[in-house]
Chain A
Amino acid sequence: MTKKIAFWIFLLGTLSSAVVFLALTWDTHKQVAVLSNADKIDDRVVAGKRAFEKYNCNDCHTILGFGAYYGPDLTRVIQRIGDEGVRFRIKSPELAFANSWRKMPNVHASDAEIADMVAFFKWVNEINNNDWPPQDSKKRLSRGEQAMVASVGVSPGAAVFQSKGCMNCHALHGTGGTFGPALDTVGRRKTTEEIEHYVKDPKSVNPKAMMPPQKELTDRELEEVAKFLSNLK
């Protein structure tokens, strides 16, 4: 190999990679608008991002997996602990983490800034990022449900049924609420798919239904609970 050939390896290697990279960058810009719901970035979300940066939150927490690893990832923080959970932790970390061996500083953010940050996290919560992080994936059961499956030995669907408050209205074997019908033999009348559909949106099946749509169930939870109920015959 001569030095001239070596130079061409350098030039072609660099240029080909750069061309691929720049072309994909151009395409990424177009797609990110959809994947990140860019149309929902309003002034509050931007103000929230600024507050998030002002208090250097990202040098303890990761968001979309980047930043420091001292605190939990914030990508799905709204899904995990809700608006109020976020607000309380930023406002009064000394109370929120009184019993924790790891502390969070009180940055003395104003109420308006905290509200903006909540708006920012809500927007981040909806970014379509290939279902990361795995612990907050909607393809899995919640921690409480997993614990029930592991410790009591119930099926995943039964764990969902017990832990998601279904029994506040419905009864099984005489235990539970009476506001809705007992479900001991629901499997005789409905298939798994029908139950899944009904739980997601009761009014679409029966316009007079009193049951609220169960929006907070993850896909996996919905599937498991429907499987469980359809077996009750």
Chain B
Amino acid sequence: MEYRSQKIAYWYFAAALPLFVLQIFLGLYLAYSYTWTVPQSIVDVFPFATARAMHTNLLVLWMLLGFMGGTYYIVPEETKSEIYSEKLAWFQLIALLATGVVALVGFFFGWTQGRPLLEIPRPLDLVVVVGALVFLFNVAMTMIKANRWTAIQGTLLGGLVFLALLYLFGIPFYRNEVIDWYYWWWVIHLWVEGAWELVTAAIFAFVLMKMTGVERHVVEKWLYVEIGLFLFTGIAGTGHHYYWIGAPRYWLWVGGIFSALEPVPIILMLIDTMMHVKKREAKILNPLTWTYAVGCAIYHFIGAGVWGFLHTLPQINYYTHGSQVTVSHGHLAFFGAYALLNLMTFYYAMPKIKGIEVYDDRRGKFGFWTMCVAMMLMGLFFGVAGVLQSYIERVLGLGFMTAQSYMRLWMGIVFFCGFAFLAGLLTTVTDLLTLRPAKARA
């Protein structure tokens, strides 16, 4: 840590981690509900819908906290100056957390906007917007005052502004369900395949550069090409969500072609990471952070690239749309692209903030491998359930519950994999919050 204000990042990370744990507990309830009967009396009070709203919103909340913390850690080093206002950073952390807690409690009492992933009620949306504006102001002012622009800063700021702007499309009430879904995807798709990719690409480039000692101009050149391709394929690729919503037929072509290209920038990211590994000039001090970086690049490619490609073509998507195949892709992609990226950032920044040069990574390694293996298995079993559902319900036309009864076994296995994932996560969280220096190795 070179600048005092970087310390604020620690509290963003520390706030994000327990939320991640809570997300998994709710996930277990969801998998349980798919496999066994939850009695009517419990369903009436705590339905699947409420738990699902919590599961997904916790994901968004902890990941955004991670991105913001990551930003507050990176920006001082990139601009070679302190954060514009530490007080604003604190205010914004507390505001976001308070909004999150109120929203979660609100869901329990049925206070919701009622649109998947955008359940946060409209009055709270305003608080989110104010928080986002404060954040952007703080980051932008730091950069403007320092006036030492780099591609990493530009990408980061661009991604964050884009992220905030898109959120606005999720706030209005749309009278037409078709138009509703049309703009719903401006938030969801353009976040995860646009704005979030920009933010992660910038964070990833920063960590890669710092860890490998590869020169800035090389890293930033790759960064430009990658984000260019991410946005080229990602923006028009939104069309793969417009096949069956009542939008014009040309979206089958536009969505199919652009999204078939979506794996390209991810492959590029993978190649570029591998090349930096080869050409690294600095000694890797903390192998676990490095494992996270490489793991993230590979998992990102599998979960988002391969799994996304598998069911993005209209001919296949006609049968897999809105089935557990989507769930399989969602879990692998979010974990691979964003959970691992955030955890990599935590493992990079938290030891530095604590002043630990080389940390003891024995527990962390166990956590990493347990989570990665458990999530891969979950992805595969969700996928098996999804293929069964597509075939039985959609191809054979045998009815929803008939298909569900064949999927029960696989959802039950997912439930048990969830416990393995939880064990890995609890180890990781404990490790991150109680990092200690490694004993000198003989």
The answer for the CA separation of A68 and B221 in the assembled complex, in Å, is 40
Shortest Cβ distance from A101 into B: residue: B37
Q: Which of A11, A124, A135 has the most CB of B within 10 A?
A: A135
The answer for the CA separation of A49 and B173 in the assembled complex, in Å, is 10
Contact mask for chain B residues 309-343; partner A; CB cutoff 8 A; 1 contact, 0 none: 00000000011011110110000000000000000
Q: Of B48, B228, B235, B393, which contacts A21 at CB under 8 A?
A: B235
The answer for the CA separation of A46 and B38 in the assembled complex, in Å, is 32
Are B322 and A10 in touch, CB under 8 angstroms? no
Is B252 in the interface zone, CB < 8 Å from A? yes
Are B236 and A32 in touch, CB under 8 angstroms? no
Is A183 in the interface zone, CB < 8 Å from B? no
Is B168 in the interface zone, CB < 8 Å from A? no
Shortest Cβ distance from A14 into B: residue: B231
Query: Chain B's nearest CB lies how many Å from the CB of A12?
Result: 8
With a cutoff of 8 Å between Cβ atoms, the chain B residues found around residue A54 in the complex are 112, 114
With a cutoff of 8 Å between Cβ atoms, the chain A residues found around residue B271 in the complex are none
Contact mask for chain B residues 243-280; partner A; CB cutoff 8 A; 1 contact, 0 none: 11111111110100010000000000000000000000
The stretch of A125-133, A172-180, A192-200, A224-232 that contacts the partner chain: A125-133
Are B229 and A134 in touch, CB under 8 angstroms? no
The stretch of B178-186, B292-300, B351-359 that contacts the partner chain: B178-186
The answer for the CA separation of A24 and B396 in the assembled complex, in Å, is 35
With a cutoff of 8 Å between Cβ atoms, the chain A residues found around residue B110 in the complex are 55-56
Main secondary structure of the interface of B (DSSP, over half): helix
Query: Chain B's nearest CB lies how many Å from the CB of A86?
Result: 15
The answer for the CA separation of A106 and B231 in the assembled complex, in Å, is 44
Are B248 and A135 in touch, CB under 8 angstroms? no
Are A59 and B231 in touch, CB under 8 angstroms? no
Shortest Cβ distance from A67 into B: residue: B116
The answer for the CA separation of A73 and B320 in the assembled complex, in Å, is 13
With a cutoff of 8 Å between Cβ atoms, the chain A residues found around residue B115 in the complex are 53, 58
The answer for the CA separation of A62 and B400 in the assembled complex, in Å, is 12
Contact mask for chain B residues 46-88; partner A; CB cutoff 8 A; 1 contact, 0 none: 0111101100000000000000000000000000000000000
Contact mask for chain B residues 92-122; partner A; CB cutoff 8 A; 1 contact, 0 none: 0000000000000000001011111001000
Contact mask for chain A residues 9-29; partner B; CB cutoff 8 A; 1 contact, 0 none: 111111011101100110111
Are B236 and A69 in touch, CB under 8 angstroms? no
With a cutoff of 8 Å between Cβ atoms, the chain B residues found around residue A146 in the complex are 396-397
Query: Chain A's nearest CB lies how many Å from the CB of B7?
Result: 33
Interface band, chain B: 35 or more
Main secondary structure of the interface of A (DSSP, over half): helix
Are B246 and A68 in touch, CB under 8 angstroms? no
Contacts A35-B248, A63-B177 hold; do A58 and B401 have CB atoms under 8 A apart? Answer: no
Are A59 and B184 in touch, CB under 8 angstroms? no
Q: Of A124, A127, A132, which contacts B321 at CB under 8 A?
A: A132
Are A103 and B37 in touch, CB under 8 angstroms? yes
Query: Chain A's nearest CB lies how many Å from the CB of B198?
Result: 10
Contacts A65-B244, A67-B116, A69-B323 hold; do A59 and B53 have CB atoms under 8 A apart? Answer: yes
Is B175 in the interface zone, CB < 8 Å from A? yes
Is B43 in the interface zone, CB < 8 Å from A? yes
Query: Chain B's nearest CB lies how many Å from the CB of A173?
Result: 30
Is B5 in the interface zone, CB < 8 Å from A? no
With a cutoff of 8 Å between Cβ atoms, the chain A residues found around residue B124 in the complex are none
Interface band, chain A: 35 or more
Are B49 and A59 in touch, CB under 8 angstroms? yes
Shortest Cβ distance from B249 into A: residue: A130
With a cutoff of 8 Å between Cβ atoms, the chain A residues found around residue B119 in the complex are 56, 59
Is B233 in the interface zone, CB < 8 Å from A? yes
The answer for the CA separation of A179 and B249 in the assembled complex, in Å, is 46
Q: Of A52, A56, A129, which contacts B246 at CB under 8 A?
A: A129
Are A6 and B114 in touch, CB under 8 angstroms? no
Are B114 and A135 in touch, CB under 8 angstroms? no
Query: Chain A's nearest CB lies how many Å from the CB of B255?
Result: 10
Q: Of B48, B177, B321, B327, which contacts A49 at CB under 8 A?
A: B177
Are B243 and A132 in touch, CB under 8 angstroms? yes
Contact mask for chain A residues 63-101; partner B; CB cutoff 8 A; 1 contact, 0 none: 111111111110000000000000000000110010011
Is B416 in the interface zone, CB < 8 Å from A? no
Is A171 in the interface zone, CB < 8 Å from B? no
With a cutoff of 8 Å between Cβ atoms, the chain B residues found around residue A94 in the complex are 40
With a cutoff of 8 Å between Cβ atoms, the chain A residues found around residue B181 in the complex are 64, 66
The answer for the CA separation of A224 and B115 in the assembled complex, in Å, is 41
Query: Chain B's nearest CB lies how many Å from the CB of A55?
Result: 7
Is A102 in the interface zone, CB < 8 Å from B? yes
Are B401 and A36 in touch, CB under 8 angstroms? no
Are B233 and A17 in touch, CB under 8 angstroms? yes
Is A167 in the interface zone, CB < 8 Å from B? no
Are B37 and A66 in touch, CB under 8 angstroms? no
With a cutoff of 8 Å between Cβ atoms, the chain B residues found around residue A124 in the complex are 177
With a cutoff of 8 Å between Cβ atoms, the chain A residues found around residue B114 in the complex are 52-59
With a cutoff of 8 Å between Cβ atoms, the chain B residues found around residue A103 in the complex are 37-40, 43
Are B178 and A64 in touch, CB under 8 angstroms? yes
Are B176 and A56 in touch, CB under 8 angstroms? no
Is A104 in the interface zone, CB < 8 Å from B? yes
The answer for the CA separation of A60 and B184 in the assembled complex, in Å, is 17
Query: Chain A's nearest CB lies how many Å from the CB of B245?
Result: 5
The answer for the CA separation of A31 and B36 in the assembled complex, in Å, is 44
The answer for the CA separation of A144 and B229 in the assembled complex, in Å, is 49
The answer for the CA separation of A28 and B321 in the assembled complex, in Å, is 21
Contact mask for chain A residues 103-128; partner B; CB cutoff 8 A; 1 contact, 0 none: 11110000000000000100010011
Is A1 in the interface zone, CB < 8 Å from B? yes
* Pairs A–B under 8 Å by Cβ, sample size 7: A6-B222, A14-B231, A14-B235, A46-B175, A69-B323, A102-B33, A132-B243
Identify 8 new A-B residue pairs, CB closer than 8 A, beyond the known A17-B231, A64-B244, A130-B244. Answer: A11-B228, A18-B231, A56-B110, A56-B114, A105-B49, A133-B394, A143-B398, A146-B396
Which residues of chain B have a CB within 8 Å of any CB of chain A?
30, 33-34, 36-40, 43-44, 47-50, 52-53, 110, 112-116, 119, 151, 173, 175-179, 181-182, 184, 217, 220-222, 224-225, 227-229, 231-236, 238-239, 241-252, 254, 258, 318-319, 321-324, 326-327, 393-401, 404-405
